[in-house]
Structure 1
Amino acid sequence: MTPILRGSALTRSYGPTLALRGVDVELSPGEILAVTGPSGCGKSTLLHCLSGILTPDSGAVHYRDADLTTRSEADRSKLRRTEFGVLFQYGQLVPELTAAENVALPLLLAGTGRRAAREAATSWLDRFGVADCADQRPGTMSGGQQQRCAVARALVTEPAVLFADEPTGSLDTVTGETVLTEIVRTARERGMAVLLVTHDARVAGYADRELVLLDGAADPSGLGIGIGS
């Protein structure tokens, strides 16, 4: 199957620190790839480069036939609104908006009508067991409820690629399994590719393949150091 997303020889530095050292990665439609490794190994930096949040210092990122490294920030932002779903480690809900408004926001930005956006948001909140939080603002919700709302927001546009950075980090084991099962089901049913960043071996077990990073490069042993710690 032709990859939908491909990163080639990616490097990225922060001052004197080289966070990525020539990483190659590809992802096919419907495939779930876990990116694992110890803290500071470059997992989140790789996700940010592949999703267009960051531009790599060298190398290329291809989504379908487009090289994202040559696209403007406006073009990359549009991709994240329409083609990509991005789930950050700490949710990052808009505090002034209700849960339903947060989930509906990507649809509204894409031009969906308010009523249709609200209905879709409510449906996704229900799938993750937080429909009763629809009219609550993040400050009145638990961390786990906020994270489930963030997952719903990342999926509401039915993206071609989901980028998930520690998606179950603030969830208990049972709720985390429910969220991961729903992500897997969505990937299989809709052909959504998933890049799943985690240091938890149980979470990585939901993936089809695993890319282990160590000191900013792919670990040829595939073992890494400190996975699950």
Structure 2
Amino acid sequence: MSSTQKTVPVLAARGLAKTHGRTQALRGASVELRPGEILAVTGTSGSGKSTLLHCLAGIVRPDEGSVVYAEQRLDQLPEQRLSELRRTEFGVVFQFGQLIPELTALDNVALPLLLAGASRKDSHERAGEWLERFGVRGQEELRPGEMSGGQAQRVSLARALVTGPKVVFADEPTGALDSLASEGVMAALAHTARESGTAVLLVTHDAQVAAYADREVELRDGVVVSGADAVVEMSR
């Protein structure tokens, strides 16, 4: 057994169920994320991948089951505490980045630091360093509408990592990019996450994107059906 397998999970979900209207998105899904690993959650459209990520990140609450992070039940925490975690210990990246259109690249990346109380000078210095890590140094004054898709997603990744989070949640982060831009973004994310020891939960339907992960689990009809976490699923 590898040292990774022996490690206590940084995030663990058990028996998650979630219904949207008449659609049951999750039907008892269980998954574990280990410190410093990149985990790909794969599956077809409608398999429940994004709903699972949203439950794990505390964006939505499951109808049933538990999500444990640092000995805390995320599914039971008040919204104020969940928002604080997403500002400090979690980073979230969506398919289209969701950058603030009125802000420059530098200000978009600096925003989480400013919200956490850092000075403008320090926030901009750290934001500039992260833009450089993701290969978009020199684009600080561009606004999202002036960036290519690849540039915008690199800025989104820099914003997600600038606070030094323990976990990054990436929901189809390359879904809006061409193959070349996708490879560049994933290589940058994988390198930076491993360098900083950040755990990444990556939702994707793209096998080439999943190949950057240390481990892969497949979600089908709201449950984990393959990968190491399928053992957890079957033991419930």
Interval containing the TM-score (normalised by the shorter chain): over 0.9
CA distance in 2, matches of 1:116, 1:190: 20
Cross-structure match for 2:178: 172
CA distance in 2, matches of 1:128, 1:208: 21
Count of equivalent residues: 222
% identical equivalent positions: 59
Cross-structure match for 1:101: 107
CA distance in 2, matches of 1:189, 1:207: 14
Q: CA deviation at 1:165?
A: 0.8
Q: Structure 2 matches for 1:76-91, cutoff 5 A?
A: 76-91=82-97
User: Aligned in 2, Cα 1:143/1:34: closer, same or farther, shift over 3 Å?
Assistant: same
Cross-structure match for 2:78: 72
2:93/2:170 contact within 8 Å kept: yes
2:12/2:31 contact within 8 Å kept: yes
Moved more, 170-179 or 36-45: 170-179
Q: Are 1:163 and 2:169 an aligned pair?
A: yes
Q: CA deviation at 1:221?
A: 8.4
Q: CA deviation at 1:135?
A: 0.8
Cross-structure match for 2:38: 32
1:147/1:170 contact within 8 Å kept: no
CA distance in 1, matches of 2:17, 2:75: 12
CA distance in 1, matches of 2:192, 2:146: 29
CA distance in 1, matches of 2:201, 2:45: 17
Give secondary structure in 1 for the equivalent of 2:138.
helix
Q: Are 1:137 and 2:143 an aligned pair?
A: yes
Give me the CA root mean square deviation: 1.5
Cross-structure match for 1:225: none
Q: Structure 2 matches for 1:215-226, cutoff 5 A?
A: 215-220=221-226
Deviations 1:106-136 (A, max 9, x none): 1111111111110111111122222222112
The alignment's TM-score, normalised by the length of structure 1, stands at 0.92
Cross-structure match for 1:183: 189
Q: CA deviation at 1:98?
A: 0.7
The alignment's TM-score, normalised by the length of structure 2, stands at 0.90
Aligned equivalent of 1:59, options 50, 55, 65 = 65
CA distance in 2, matches of 1:172, 1:124: 23
Runs of 4+ in structure 1 displaced over 6 angstroms?
none
Q: CA deviation at 1:220?
A: 4.3
CA distance in 1, matches of 2:16, 2:8: 20
Cross-structure match for 1:151: 157
Give secondary structure in 2 for the equivalent of 1:219.
strand
CA distance in 2, matches of 1:221, 1:162: 20
Deviations 1:185-212 (A, max 9, x none): 2332322111000000011011111110
Deviations 1:131-155 (A, max 9, x none): 2221121122222221111111111
Q: CA deviation at 1:99?
A: 0.7
Q: Are 1:19 and 2:34 an aligned pair?
A: no
Counterpart residue type for residue 61 of structure 2: T
Counterpart residue type for residue 203 of structure 1: V
2:150/2:185 contact within 8 Å kept: no
